[in-house]
Amino acid sequence: MSDTEQTGTSSAELFGSDRMWGLKELPLPEPVSWWPQTIGWVGVLFIILCALTWLAWKRWQAYQHNLYRREGLVKLDSFNQNPLAIIELPLLLRSSALRAAPRIDVANLRGSDWITWLNKSGGSNLFEDRDAKLLDELAYAQPDQSTIDSKTRVHLLEASRTWMRSHRASV
């Protein structure tokens, strides 16, 4: 027994009246194109593509410019595993500062002037005045001569890490 016999409906009720038999379905129109129909939209699309290309280029330049920052942070992390490597900290800070600012502003700074510049470029007082003497001593220390207590070592590494992340570099 078929479904139409079970429900009691005829095929004419399912498919329309007998007058509908033999009619052909109208063809569907062509799909609307998503491509712009006027030259103005092509111009707008070109301008948007140029702007996106320029933005991607500037982002790539900024990424490349901050390569020294990422490498410095990796080097700072390696200082935690090797206690004697702390003597490389002044060199790392100086080389990062020379990449971030004009050489004339950084190269001649020593002692408290150096600490002041680091704090100013980092945006906060990360380094203390006693760190100036300690950084100077570390710059000229031999690997076996660096005797820094763990509290001071942690302070220097944390201040350096924060400075490395937060200082403003001139492009």
Is the residue at 134 inside a domain? yes
pLDDT band (50, 70, 90) for residue 1: low
For residues 119-125, average pLDDT = 84
What does the alpha-carbon distance between residue 95 and residue 85 come to, in Å, rounded to a whole number? 16
Domains identified in the chain, total number? 1
What does the alpha-carbon distance between residue 12 and residue 18 come to, in Å, rounded to a whole number? 6
Is the residue at 105 inside a domain? yes
Is the residue at 96 inside a domain? yes
Q: pTM of this prediction?
A: 0.66
Is the residue at 47 inside a domain? no
Is the residue at 118 inside a domain? yes
Is the residue at 109 inside a domain? yes
The pLDDT, as a whole number, for residue 145 is 60
pLDDT band (50, 70, 90) for residue 55: very high
Domain of 95 in residue numbering reads as 67-166
Is the residue at 59 inside a domain? no
CA nearest neighbour of 119 among 108, 137, 132: 132
What does the alpha-carbon distance between residue 115 and residue 98 come to, in Å, rounded to a whole number? 14
For residues 25-41, average pLDDT = 87
Mean pLDDT, the chain, rounded, equals: 82
For residues 111-134, average pLDDT = 86
For residues 73-99, average pLDDT = 86
Residue 68 near residue 169, CB atoms below 8 Å: no
Is the residue at 60 inside a domain? no
